[in-house]
Amino acid sequence: MTDEASDSGRPGDVVLRCGGCGAAMRARGPDAVRQCPRCRSTDLRELPVPGGAFEYACADRRHGTTAADVAFAEWAKWCGYVTPNQYNTAMHRQNSEQQKTGVARPIHEVMISMGQIDPMRAEGLLRFLCRSRPDEDDEDFLARLKGLDEVDPEKVRAVAELQRRMAARRHEVPPIGQLLVQRRVLTEVRMLEVLRAQTADGRGSLQRALAMSQPPPKETAAGRVLRKATGSPAVLRGIAVAAVLVMAAVGVWAWRFREEPLYVLGRCTNCEAVQKVEWSAYDWPVVCARCGRKTVYYAVVCPNGHVYTRAFPFTNEPCPECGADRGRPLTEQDLRRPVSR
Query: DSSP of 234-289, one letter per residue?
Result: HHHHHHHHHHHHHHHHHHHHHHHHTT---EEEEEETTT--EEEEE--SS--SB--T
Distance of CA 235 to CAs 36, 226, 246, Å?
A: 56, 9, 17
Q: What band does 261 get if pLDDT is binned at 50, 70 and 90? A: low
Q: List the one residue out of 206, 152, 161, 141 whose CA is nearest residue 184.
A: 152
pLDDT at 140 over 90: yes
DSSP state of 50: G
Q: How far is CA 339 from the centre of its chain?
A: 30
Residue 3 is predicted with a pLDDT of 36
As a 3-state breakdown, the chain gives helix, strand, coil percent values, each rounded to 5, of: 45, 10, 45
pLDDT at 205 over 90: yes
Q: Which of the residue ranges 27-31, 139-143, 218-222 would you say has the lowest mean pLDDT? A: 218-222
pTM metric for this prediction: 0.63
Q: Which of the residue ranges 20-34, 42-56, 249-263, 300-314 would you say has the lowest mean pLDDT? A: 249-263
